Structure formats: structure tokens, C-alpha cells
């Protein structure tokens, strides 16, 4: 039994949803089955984080580098996203969760892009916490995009706050906790600016198996850390 301090639940959790392919391989299934199981794991995680009071959940669904994968795998992932978003649009009302998409959506199919935009628009005033889905997202791409916005505005006096306002996360706090399941201990171009002081939690459990108990473990680890932000205690 994992005891959590319910007064110290992280306000913002970021997750790199990794390990779908290996999960499928272990079972002798195609990688697409791993992605389907990963999508289910995501729905479950979103529901659970909401239930325990996490305000922001930001997940890495597809990186700017993931286009290097075989065409049929990419097509499969995009198909799953469409299916997931269709369902999400339906139960979003019930959960009252805001959905946002971070990343360059211009490379998605018009149909998928339209679904993303519709979901954002429909949910924008919902009070029930926020889920950010990173899609064709790269941390460097986000920083370059922010710099271009800044330049287009005539290069106003630059501060960290101002620069942060050009990022996808403009109106939200930085992640308190980064979770990476799947055994790799790198950040793979994820939220490079925003993770400056996040606590990192790496786990060998593959994403489709990363259930409520694993999330509790990650939060318990987070609660045991001493966040100093460069100061002393
Ligand atoms: C994460 O799982 C999903 C995406 C990157 C889209 P992977 O597909 O990377 O799974 P592994 O790392 O090969 O097991
Ligand atoms: C990171 O996982 C991207 C997502 C989970 C969407 P990858 O599987 O693409 O990362 P690497 O290749 O192991 O660094
Ligand atoms: Mg991977």
C-alpha cells in the first residue's frame, strides 16, 4: 500500500509515454497493439490524475523525431489518435477536462487537425483540470518557434518570463514531476525549457503496464524529494 500525502500532490505532471513497442514484442504482438494498449493506459492515467487532484497532465504522444519510423507504424499511430480523440470528444463533457495540443499540427492530416482544434475549442472553459497532448512536438522546435514569435514582434526586451510566454505552456506552471516509463533515462527532446527544475522519475515498467499503482509510486518518490531550486534548506 502506497501512502500519499494528499496535500502535496504535484500540480503538473509530465509523462513520456514510452515502451509500447517492447510491450507488444514481449507478447508476440505487432507494435500497433502496443500503441493501442498505450492509448488505453493514457486514458486511465488521465482519469486517475484528475481524481487525485493533479491540475495539469502533459503527455508526449508523438515527437518531431517519430516520423523516422516506418510509414505504416506512423499511420497506425495517427489512426489511433483519431479514434481516441473521437472518444475523448464524447466523454470530455462528462469529465469537464480541458484538452490542449502542443506541437506543430500543420503536418497532421486535415481531419486530425480539425479534431484537435474542435476538442480545444469545445473544452476551453471546462473547470476540471487540463490535459496537454504533445503531438509532433519537440522541445527544440518549440524554442525555435518561440524565438520566431519574439522576432516577429520586433524583439522586445527579453526576460525569462517574456520568453516563456511564447511557449505552448505560456499560461501554466512548469511540471513538478517528469515520469518516464519504459526503462530509458533520457528526455528525448521533451519540454526542454519547462523541465528546468522538475523532479525526474524513471521506471522500467512499460507504458501500457503503467497503472494507478505505478503513478502512486512516482508521486511517493516525488514527495520524498527535497526541492531546493539551487538554495539551501
Ligand atoms: C512510445 O512507445 C510511443 C511513441 C513513441 C509513439 P515506443 O513505440 O517508443 O515503444 P518502444 O520504446 O519501442 O518500446
Ligand atoms: C519519446 O519516445 C517520444 C514519445 C514517447 C512520444 P521515443 O521512443 O521516441 O524516444 P527514444 O527514441 O527512445 O529517445
Ligand atoms: Mg520508445
Which residue of 33, 137, 182, 205 sits with most ligand 1 atoms within 8 Å of its CB, as the best mutation to test the pocket? 182
What letters, b where the CB count within 10 A reaches 16 and e where it falls short, cover 189-224?
bbbebbbeebbebbbebbbbbbeeebbbbbbebbbe
Gyration radius of the chain's alpha carbons: 18
User: Is there a contact between 61 and 102 (Cβ–Cβ < 8 Å)?
Assistant: no
Query: Catalytic: 18?
Result: yes
CA distance 107 to 103: 10
Confidence label for 176 from pLDDT (cuts 50, 70 and 90)? very high
User: Does residue 91 surpass a pLDDT of 80?
Assistant: no
Q: H or E stretch including 212?
A: helix 212-223
pLDDT of residue 85: 84
Which residue of 24, 33, 34, 137 sits with most ligand 1 atoms within 8 Å of its CB, as the best mutation to test the pocket? 34
Per-residue pLDDT reduced to its tens digit, 20-51: 999 999 999 999 999 999 999 999 999 999 99
Query: Catalytic: 204?
Result: no
pTM above 0.85, yes or no: yes
User: Is there a contact between 86 and 115 (Cβ–Cβ < 8 Å)?
Assistant: yes
**Is the Cβ atom of 60 under 6 angstroms away from ligand 2?**
yes
Per-residue pLDDT reduced to its tens digit, 105-146: 999 999 999 999 999 999 999 998 999 999 999 999 999 999
Instruction: Ligand 2, residue 16: give the atom nearest the CA.
Output: 5
pLDDT of residue 163: 98
> What percentage of the chain exceeds 90 in pLDDT?
93
Q: From ligand 1's centre to the CA of 230, what distance in Å?
A: 34
CA distance 91 to 79: 19
Amino acid at each position: 500500500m502506497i501512502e500519499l500525502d494528499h496535500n502535496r500532490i504535484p500540480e503538473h505532471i509530465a509523462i513520456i509515454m514510452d515502451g509500447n513497442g517492447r510491450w507488444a514484442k514481449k507478447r508476440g504482438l505487432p507494435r500497433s497493439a502496443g500503441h493501442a494498449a498505450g492509448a488505453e493506459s493514457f486514458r486511465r492515467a488521465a482519469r486517475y490524475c484528475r481524481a487525485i487532484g493533479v491540475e495539469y497532465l502533459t503527455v508526449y504522444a508523438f515527437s518531431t523525431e517519430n516520423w523516422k519510423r516506418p510509414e505504416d507504424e506512423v499511420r497506425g499511430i495517427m489512426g489511433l489518435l483519431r479514434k481516441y480523440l473521437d472518444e475523448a470528444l464524447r466523454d470530455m463533457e462528462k469529465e469537464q477536462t480541458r484538452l490542449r495540443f502542443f506541437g506543430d499540427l500543420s503536418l497532421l492530416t486535415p481531419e486530425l487537425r480539425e479534431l484537435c482544434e474542435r476538442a480545444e475549442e469545445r473544452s476551453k472553459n471546462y473547470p476540471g483540470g487540463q490535459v496537454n497532448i504533445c503531438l509532433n512536438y519537440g522541445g527544440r522546435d518549440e524554442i525555435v518557434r518561440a524565438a520566431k514569435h519574439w522576432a516577429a514582434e520586433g524583439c522586445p526586451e527579453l526576460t525569462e518570463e517574456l520568453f516563456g510566454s511564447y511557449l505552448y505552456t505560456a499560461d501554466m506552471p512548469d511540471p513538478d514531476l517528469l515520469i518516464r516509463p519504459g526503462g530509458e533515462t533520457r528526455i528525448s527532446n521533451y519540454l526542454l525549457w519547462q523541465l528546468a527544475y522538475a523532479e525526474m522519475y524513471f521506471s522500467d515498467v512499460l507504458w501500457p503496464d503503467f497503472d494507478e499503482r505505478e503513478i502512486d509510486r512516482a508521486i511517493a518518490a516525488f514527495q520524498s524529494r527535497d526541492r531546493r531550486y539551487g538554495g539551501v534548506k
